[in-house]
Amino acid sequence: MANIMYWEAIQRAHDEEMTNDPLVICMGEDIGVAGGTYKATKGLFDKFGPERVIDTPISENGYTGVGIGASFIGIRPIIEIMSVNFAWLAMDQIFNSAAKVRYMSGGQLEAPVVIRSPGGTAHQLGAQHSARMENVFMGIAGLRVVTPSTPKQAYGLLKAAVRCNDPVFIYEHELMYNMKGDVPDAEFFHPLEGSEVVRSGKDLTLFGYNISVHWSLQAADILSKNHGIEAEVVDLFSLSPLDRAGIAASVSKTHRAVIVEESEAPVGVGSEVMAIINEECFFDLDAAPVRVSSANVPQPYNHTLEKATIPGPDDVVNAVVKMMGKA
């Protein structure tokens, strides 16, 4: 096992997949000479050269379209969009081209393209650089959406996505790039579908993804120590498709659910998970499902206000205590 940072795991996956297949390329702003804004492509330009590690102009719609078009003829691009906020500019290419080409061509064309992008609230980046857009990508039929919560997942999901013949959007969190974790020394491919029980419990289930998995784990420790409540924590690393069977299995076991997300509540991951719970295991519930989410406002730049809009472990604990009637 290697104990490495999240960005190092992503860089390693790039390196291995580009070494394995000369048709794997990467594209994006500052990914070449500069090594990427978050160092996820560090060293690749020197190793593979400018024809395979392509520094692009600041034109998300343009270079995303070029990469998607290249995937139609067998190239396997890994496209980095520097911030998920800028992915709005590439939505036509992602939505109307990559996600639909197999259907529109009757299976004659595929789009084996990977689009990586960081999002979430970092530190005082302001409303236009703090978006959480996972709910938008989840709503695109034909697009897989995954979101790693650990370096191991970041490594394995990227490698699996590169080998997949479907378009895959990988949503990373800006605050997690320096997070450390164990990654197998041997080559490892993480499933692109499913969920993972990362902490077993009997009293309720906390559902999270990327950074909110860590809030949920911290909350579960506090609940066990201070309140005698044993929470199960489920990592929803696949947002599209969501693991209906895994969600239902955990709720049927614990009979209560709290969905934890950094994103705003309306039309979000929590909404969809609640719908699945109601459809799959309504009669197993001992309490109505609850969401812990950010305030539905543009992200403030002011540090104090920024912190006030984002949930954390204490908010999860408070929601659970209220649900369990142990206040």
Q: Which residues are catalytic?
A: 60, 129
Cα separation, 125 vs 98, in Å, equals: 30
- Do the beta carbons of residue 234 and residue 242 sit within 8 Å? no
3-state secondary structure of 138: helix
Omega of the bond leading into 300 within 30 degrees of 0 (cis): no
3-state secondary structure 9-73: HHHHHHHHHHHHCCCEEEEECCCCCCCCCCCCCCCHHHHHCCCCEEECCCCHHHHHHHHHHHHCC
For 100-123, give one letter per residue: b (16+ CB within 10 A) or e: bbbeeeeeeebbbbbbbbbbbbbe
Nearest 5°: the CA angle 97, 103, 109 is: 70
Closest listed residue to residue 320, CA positions, set 253, 227, 246? 227
Q: What is the DSSP string of 156-171?
A: HHHHHHHH-SS-EEEE
The three-state secondary structure class of 221 is: helix
Measured CA to CA in angstroms, residue 66 lies from 91, 94, 112, 281 at distances of 13, 11, 13, 44
CA 314 to centroid of chain Cα atoms: 23
Cα angle: 72, vertex 77, 82; to 5 degrees: 130
d(CA 78, CA 5): 20
